Structure 1
């Protein structure tokens, strides 16, 4: 196992653990010294992970997040309503994806998580800086939506269904 593979695995171990992960246990697992683990943690932190050292081990200081892909369809006039419905229930519209018969899979990062960001996105659309990706696939598109819990995603899904935006599976 390479050092980068070990660090990727350490991140997974810490993310998935419900309790702090001790450096000694990590050293035993990967058959390296405790000092190598300390150096790995420093490199992991430098790459952007907020790893906290406690007297019981390492924990990741990050909000737990879940995500789900939704297939939706709506008009340009309903775009703002769709985005606001998602963010008002606590979701973040991570991206927009389409599957075009000629161009294949296309995806754009959005990161829309507030009404302010919805307004900025809509201003870019209205000003002509861009047009919605959905327009080249008869308004069909996907959004990956992240939230703090499965229950929040369930509420978002139900709201999109009630508004008529959610496309039933198989279409």
Structure 2
């Protein structure tokens, strides 16, 4: 199979996938190295395809939902409560951003849409012994969230506000 055919199949599979697909998975499927797949993804992005790298693999960015940015503050122990509050209201967490005094905006992709995603994220933080990005800013951070409707957004904001997680 040539590279163009492989890229076509990669894009089709990513567009149809409900979960991220890793470069390693594609590499095994096509009997090529992970690095070859990373190169294919880079070429697809260069031609304008909206492919996003997440901690669990690649996804095609889909924008059927409304996106909002919310300002939050909570302790590390309240992380799952914050994430559950968002996903339990049928919204998703796209990323986290902090404003660092030296580096400016620092962001990390999250793509958390279910409690399982939230649990996996928290588990990986523990396994890798990594601190949250918001530790750099005394727990203050922004999330880009996606919601199917404005009503869903209003419910999330109300629930997060009741828990004291929102900063206005």
- TM-score category of the 2 structures, normalised to the smaller one: 0.5 to 0.7
**Per-residue deviation, 1:129:** 4.4
What is the number of residues matched between the two proteins?
Answer: 110
Instruction: Give the corresponding residue for 2:133.
Output: 133
Number of the residue aligned with 1:153: 153
Matches of 1:90 and 1:110 in 2, distance apart? 16
- For normalisation by structure 2, the TM-score amounts to 0.62
Aligned to 2:45: none
Residue by residue, what CA displacement relative to the aligned partner does 1:68-93 show, whole Å, maximum 9, x if unpaired?
Answer: 10000000000010000000001110
Shift of 1:47: 4.5
Consecutive unaligned residues in structure 1, runs of 5 or more: 1-45, 49-61
Q: CA deviation at 1:147?
A: 1.1
Distance 2:68 2:144 in 1: 6
Q: Could you tell me how far apart the structure 1 residues matched to 2:132 and 2:90 are?
A: 23
Whole-Å separation in 1 of the counterparts to 2:152 and 2:118:
19
The alpha-carbon deviation at position 103 of structure 1 amounts to: 1.5
Q: RMSD between aligned alpha carbons?
A: 1.7
What is the rounded CA distance, in whole Å, between the counterparts of 2:73 and 2:114 in structure 1? 21
Partner of 1:96: 96
- The 3 A distance-change label for structure 1 pair 102 and 157 is same
Q: Does residue 1:85 correspond to 2:85, yes or no?
A: yes
Q: Could you list the per-position Cα deviations for residues 12-68 of structure 1 after superposition, in whole angstroms to 9, with x for gaps in the alignment?
A: xxxxxxxxxxxxxxxxxxxxxxxxxxxxxxxxxx957xxxxxxxxxxxxx7731011
Change in 2 beyond 3 A, CA 1:47/1:142: closer
Q: Which of structure 1's runs of 4+ aligned residues deviate more than 4 A? A: none
**Structure 2 segments unaligned to the other structure (5+ residues):** 1-47, 51-61
Within a 5 Å distance, the mapping from 1:5-154 to structure 2 comes to 47=49, 64-154=64-154
Whether the 8 Å CA contact 1:63–1:148 is kept in 2: the answer is: no
